[in-house]
Amino acid sequence: MPLFAADQITYQINIQGLEGEEFENARNVFKASSILENKKSSKLISLTNLNGRIETDVDLLNQIMRSEGYYGAAITDQLARRNNEFEITLMVTPGPVYKYGDIKIEFQGTIPQEDIKEKLNKAMLIKAEQPARAQPVKSSHDNILVMLPQLGFPFVQKIDDNFVVDHRSQKMDVTFTIDTGPRRRMGLVKFEGSETVNESFLSKFIIWNEGDTYEQRYVDGLRNRLLQSNLFSGIDVSVTPRDQDFADINVKLTPARQRTIGTSLGYSTAEGVSGEVSWEHRNIFGSGQRLNVIAHAAEIEQSLTSRLEIPHFKRLDQTLSFEGGLKRQNTDAFLAYTVNTQAGIDRVITDHIALLANVVLDYNVVTDALGKNDFMLTALPFGFRWDSSDNLLDPSSGLRASVITAPSFGVGKTSFTFLKSEIRASGYYPVTSKKNVVLALRTRLGSIVGVENETLPATSRFFSGGGGSIRGYAFQRVGPLAVNGDPLGGRSVSEVAGEVRFKFENNLGLVLFSEGGNVYLDTMPKFSDFRWAAGIGARYSTGFGPIRFDIAFPLNKRTGDSSFQIYISLGQAF
């Protein structure tokens, strides 16, 4: 029956010979790249064009089989016709898997030292007698390209991959031929566009001496520290050769805006409406010093604070900070007026770990269930923090933890000393590969020793309940209560929380959560008599962070507890 131009050809395609689990990758690659598969729905009215597609896919299958190590594979095609419906069968005879034979690195021009050759050999991802797949060879090639600048060769002339397939031994020999060019030394660093920043500050980021052997990590570290300074909106780093085997580093900078004004709003049924206005200058004295002033107002708290940070103080990745503030707190537990000043050192040890130490001086006037007291409090908090999370406001993987201990000395009607310690930790675990379902867990433990609860100022006690603690209960209302129902606080605290976060493609999200804990008069936290709450929340993802709306319900209500609490703010709960 002749085929006319008006007739449309349709077809089915079958692959035979690749049914085993070992061929899963080959099947997936073919399905993603096949013309027959991907253009199946497009009009095809020419048998010649259909045959062209078949030939192209046969060639594709041959390439895929070779890339999987089947260099002796045979592929035939069969075309059966029923009216204008065709059935295409591609029959694959894989044959044996070829193995890697000899694997060598050869050099042209400069011959590196033996230790460099050894490091390059370790970067190889292929070994003799392994299946001769193409991807490990490409990955080894890429590893060599990455490794050479780390070993002093930033201007690699070429890397050629040579393959020799021996069908009798069913082996493939691989030879990488490299022309590294001369080994270089660290040269001059030239900054362009840095007029708003003192060059003496930028020079702190240069951690090598001119003439040292070139290492790419030096250049990468310079770029990262410039980026982390938040002083530049554009950073372009290039490396150029110079005589006597030097490599000069040229840094072209685009200054960023140095001042920012920000505002935020929040709401909870227990704490009411809250608002914040902030002003920040990120280069106030020309060397990356950051000054931040924040005015905060809510029904239960009003404050004005300022903070000055001096980055890279005395050494890289060490920040000296000074902070001062005025605060008024009017909660069910107490009424307090506080004047605060403090100085601190924060030293980054690794990418995830930082040490911190502070000197804090507070003057407080507090009225609570025990009456009105004024006192001066000096504290020396120190500890460490760990942060491997992937996002500040919306983490989907990683861990956060901090351990802070604060020896404290107070002078009021009587003198008193105590030690306050607190552990906080949270973890974020993606349930799916796309990270659109995340399990988030949090805990908090605290202890105060050395002073009785009646002597301990209310502003230094532990409290629990509210938006940053156990949602579902009013602010500070988890824990012991006075006769009149006001929170007393305590000398220890335990909290746990869990969330399941669902993220959808339209920037919306859903959160299911449960939280529990308690405050105790004893010095050591317990894991009993928890007050539990559960709730549901909605999220809307913005470019900065998610806007959250939570409604939480207390599961262990006491007299005076509301049936639910509502929270609206920016960022995840933890």
Q: What are the tens digits of pLDDT across the range 48-88?
A: 888 889 999 999 999 999 999 999 999 999 988 877 688 99
Q: Are 175 and 84 within one domain? A: no
Last residue of a domain, one of 71, 93, 115: 93
Q: Could you give the CA distance from residue 417 to residue 402 in angstroms, rounded to a whole number?
A: 23
**Which pLDDT score, from 0 to 100, does residue 43 have?**
75
In a domain, 4, yes or no: no
DSSP H or E segment with residue 495 = strand 492-503
Last residue of a domain, one of 255, 283, 298: 255
CA proximity to 150, closest of 215, 75, 85: 215
**Which pLDDT score, from 0 to 100, does residue 111 have?**
84
Q: Are 306 and 420 within one domain? A: yes
Q: Are 461 and 530 within one domain? A: yes
Q: Are 109 and 86 within one domain? A: no
Q: Are 79 and 51 within one domain? A: yes
**Which pLDDT score, from 0 to 100, does residue 41 have?**
79
In a domain, 2, yes or no: no
The pairs formed by 311-319 with CB atoms below 8 angstroms and a separation of 24 or more are 311/229, 312/201, 312/204, 312/288, 313/345, 315/347, 316/204, 316/205, 316/207, 316/225, 317/347, 317/348, 318/345, 318/346, 318/347, 318/348, 319/345, 319/346, 319/347
In this structure, are residues 381 and 360 in contact, taking their beta carbons and an 8 Å threshold? yes
**Which pLDDT score, from 0 to 100, does residue 7 have?**
59
Q: Are 554 and 530 within one domain? A: yes
Q: Could you give the CA distance from residue 198 to residue 284 in angstroms, rounded to a whole number?
A: 11
In a domain, 85, yes or no: yes
Q: Could you give the CA distance from residue 456 to residue 410 in angstroms, rounded to a whole number?
A: 9
With a CB cutoff of 8 Å and minimum separation 6, the contacts of 261 are 277, 278, 279, 280
Q: Are 224 and 302 within one domain? A: no
DSSP H or E segment with residue 33 = helix 24-33
Last residue of a domain, one of 62, 93, 124: 93
Q: Sign of the C-alpha dihedral, residues 17, 23, 29, 32?
A: positive
Give the pair of three-digit tokens for residue 507. 């920037």
In this structure, are residues 549 and 266 in contact, taking their beta carbons and an 8 Å threshold? no
Q: Are 335 and 466 within one domain? A: yes
**Which pLDDT score, from 0 to 100, does residue 442 have?**
98
- CATH number for 195: 3.10.20.310
Report residues of the chain scoring pLDDT below 50: 1-6
Q: Are 540 and 448 within one domain? A: yes
In a domain, 424, yes or no: yes
Instruction: Give the total number of structural domains in the chain.
Output: 4
What pTM does this model have? 0.78
The pairs formed by 230-238 with CB atoms below 8 angstroms and a separation of 24 or more are 230/256, 230/282, 231/196, 231/197, 231/255, 231/256, 231/258, 231/282, 231/283, 231/288, 232/193, 232/256, 233/257
In a domain, 89, yes or no: yes
**What would the pLDDT profile of 544-566 be if each residue is shown by its tens digit?**
889 999 999 999 999 889 999 99
In a domain, 1, yes or no: no
Q: Are 225 and 144 within one domain? A: no
Displacement of CA 468 from its chain's centroid (Å): 22
Give the pair of three-digit tokens for residue 204. 């702190």
- Its domain, for residue 435, covers 259-570
Q: Are 208 and 156 within one domain? A: no
- CATH number for 445: 2.40.160.50
Q: Could you give the CA distance from residue 209 to residue 218 in angstroms, rounded to a whole number?
A: 11
